Amino acid sequence: MDISPRSADGSPVHRLNPLTKLVFAVTVTVSAFALTMTWWPLLLFCTAVLPMVIASGTLRKFFPMLLALWVPIALTVYLIQGFFYPETSRVVAEIGPLELKYEGLVFATQTALRIMVLMGGFFLLLLTTRPGALMSAMTQRGMSPKTVYVVSAALQIAPALADRAQGILHAQQARGLPVKGLRGRIRALVPMAGPLILGALTDVGDRAVAMETRGFGTSRRPTFLTEVPDTAAQRVARTVMGLCALTAVVANVLGVLR
Amino acid sequence: MIEFRNFSLTYPTGSRPALREIDLVVPRGQICAVVGAEGAGKTTLAGVISGVVPHMTGGDPTGSARVGGRLLAKTQPSELVGEVGLVMQNPFNQLSGARFSLREELAFGLENLGVNRAEMIRRVEAVMADLGLTALASLSPYEISGGQQQLLAIGSALVMRPAVMVLDEPTSQLDAVGAGLVFDTLETLRARGVTVVLFEHRLERPARYADRVLVLGEGRIVADGPPTDVLTDPRLAEWGVAPLRYTTAARRAAERGLWEADRPLPVTLEAAADGFAAALKSARTAGGL
């Protein structure tokens, strides 16, 4: 069960330091949310995210991923904001007792576009970065190995637990537990959750022993198998991007570019 | 070297000792197999040697237990890292859960110990080659089979190059090829002077590879000696250990006068085949067949 959707091609974007791509994703996200012009997130997506995606050669994977996740969210945002936006003056259409409001649609557009930028930035990171390289880069930049462990273990263990849950469910089904229909699925949750949680708790002790015997928690300075390339230009780029994000936040606070 | 002197241990929740009056010396470069029924104390003994018991489990030890001269009662498990390698029964629980490929998983312990990268790569590649994992190097540790995870767990301990390896049923999920790879690797370790303590319930491999077999029964060492002596002991079943089929077959043949009187009972397939061939030849010569 490979949790990484990373594409195999080694483009220049793939070769960038994972932190550079992480800072890029965070910067475009913060910028998209901080500045309040309606079409600003779309501009950001087209001029920053899209060129990076094209340069990485992951367009064919990127758009299906983005559409699969973004479209349902965007539709939900349009429905909720379009019909229930509180401060309204212009009604665009009426559907039964519901009124579709212009301000709600504008707000939904902006929110959906912001989410698109957020997803775009992080999908680019996912598609072009090995998770191990990202974790190594974070540790090498001084983040606590324990914090990095928690993040990466959560990423790894979740699919493994899902797999185990599936196994338990199959075992319960084999013993006659009906899981068809909503009621069946809800009823199956209890007999599945019990063994899953108890099993996971039991595993914790063994895992702690294994980690201890493999030197996790020793006070020695760790080394890294994964060599993460970094350059002065990328360090400068990260600083500039950080400043851009900060500027956007300041602009938001000061009410500039509204 | 492992040295236990009159060592006993009772768990906080236990009403009786899990280990009783253990006197044991395992010299450098020996493969020592420990067998016994469920609840005989095998996992506890493995835990004590690796420093996990009683430090991480609690328990009241008496007597002394030393590994490499260190008194285990005063040594934290983290101080034994790199000196004692532990492989437990369930490989899933031994994965760090924080590495995304087999190669990275194998390097996890070395990274924690601060081993330099060039040395790390050398060791990881060597272990992968020894255990037949090279082709899987880039896969997620959660993407491979249980048997492959078991090999990975063994590799994760081997890569630390410990002076003592403690393996608790290391081949329980492996097929014959995988188990063969593991035991071939243990032979290599023995040649390098590594002390191996192997906890097993299946006797075929210990009979072939171990220098010595211990039988634990209710926390005590009830038998200790070369495989050919211990595994042919008629009391083996009383101690909760099923004798090897070859040995049982030869014993029944001996009871019927069909096994050469001066030939020891076999503990390996080859010895059994030789013994039965010799018995057949004698019977033919005597005109019995």
Is the bond preceding residue B54 a cis peptide, omega within 30 degrees?
yes
- pLDDT tens-digit series, residues A164-199: 888 888 888 888 877 777 777 777 777 788 888 888
Name every chain B residue with its beta carbon within 8 A of the beta carbon of A203: 90, 92-93
Closest of B202, B209, B206, B88 to residue B149, by C-alpha = B88
pLDDT of residue A92: 82
Q: Which residue has the higher pLDDT, B283 or B194?
A: B194
Q: Are strands B212-217 and B31-36 parallel, antiparallel or unpaired?
A: parallel
CA distance B122 to chain A (A): 11
The single-letter code of the amino acid at B64 is S
Are B245 and B236 within 8 A, CB to CB?
no
Q: Which residue has the higher pLDDT, A7 or A18?
A: A18
All structural domains of chain B with their residue ranges: 2-243, 245-289
- pLDDT tens-digit series, residues B165-217: 999 988 887 888 888 888 888 888 898 899 999 998 889 888 999 999 999 99
The residue among B140, B152, B160 with the most chain A CBs within 10 A of its CB, best to mutate, is: B140
State the average pLDDT over residues A226-230: 83
Lowest mean pLDDT among A79-83, B9-13, B179-183, B231-235: B179-183
Q: Specify the 3-state DSSP secondary structure of A136.
A: helix
Give the ipTM.
0.77
pLDDT of residue A135: 81
Question: Over 70: is that where the pLDDT of A258 sits?
Answer: no
Task: Determine how many CB atoms are found less than 10 A away from the CB of residue A201.
Answer: 9
- Tokens linked to A82: 């379009």
- Separation CA B67–CA B47 (nearest Å): 12
Name every chain A residue with its beta carbon within 8 A of the beta carbon of B119: none
CA distance A184 to chain B (A): 29
Name every chain A residue with its beta carbon within 8 A of the beta carbon of B138: none
DSSP A168-190: HHHHHHHTT----HHHHHHHHHH
- Separation CA B273–CA A139 (nearest Å): 58
Residue A1's pLDDT band (cuts 50, 70, 90): very low
What contacts A77, CB < 8 A, 6 or more positions away?
A108, A111, A112, A115
- Cβ-defined contact of B56 to A131 (cutoff 8 Å): no
Question: Over 60: is that where the pLDDT of A74 sits?
Answer: yes
- Cβ-defined contact of A160 to B86 (cutoff 8 Å): no
Tokens 């939904």 correspond to A108
The residue among A166, A207, A214, A219 with the most chain B CBs within 10 A of its CB, best to mutate, is: A214
The single-letter code of the amino acid at B196 is V
- Separation CA B231–CA B251 (nearest Å): 12
pLDDT of residue A199: 80
Instruction: Note which residues in 93-152 of chain B have CB less than 8 A from chain A.
Output: 93-101, 103-104, 107-117, 120-121, 124, 139-143
Question: Over 80: is that where the pLDDT of B138 sits?
Answer: yes
Task: Determine how many CB atoms are found less than 10 A away from the CB of residue A240.
Answer: 12
Question: Over 70: is that where the pLDDT of A3 sits?
Answer: no
CA distance B48 to chain A (A): 12
Lowest mean pLDDT among A10-19, A23-32, A143-152: A143-152
- Cβ-defined contact of B78 to A212 (cutoff 8 Å): yes
Show the beta-strand stretches assigned E in chain B: 2-10, 19-26, 31-36, 60-67, 70-71, 84-87, 164-168, 195-199, 212-217, 220-225
Residue B289's pLDDT band (cuts 50, 70, 90): low
- Tokens linked to B73: 């009662």
Question: Over 50: is that where the pLDDT of B227 sits?
Answer: yes
- Separation CA B115–CA A223 (nearest Å): 6
- Tokens linked to B85: 């390698």
- Separation CA B214–CA A212 (nearest Å): 27
Options 1.10.357.10, 3.30.2350.10, 3.40.605.10, 3.40.50.300; CATH for B2-243 is: 3.40.50.300
Closest of A211, A153, A206, A212 to residue B88, by C-alpha = A206
Q: Specify the 3-state DSSP secondary structure of B84.
A: strand
Are B81 and B115 within 8 A, CB to CB?
no
Are A88 and A103 within 8 A, CB to CB?
yes
Task: Determine how many CB atoms are found less than 10 A away from the CB of residue A231.
Answer: 11
- Cβ-defined contact of A152 to B98 (cutoff 8 Å): yes
The residue among A213, A219, A220 with the most chain B CBs within 10 A of its CB, best to mutate, is: A213
Name every chain B residue with its beta carbon within 8 A of the beta carbon of A3: 100, 140
Sign of CA dihedral A83, A84, A85, A89: positive
- Is any Cβ of chain A less than 8 angstroms from the Cβ of B278? no
Out of B88, B104, B139, the one facing A206 most closely (by C-beta) is B88
- Cβ-defined contact of B104 to A132 (cutoff 8 Å): yes
State the average pLDDT over residues A80-84: 89
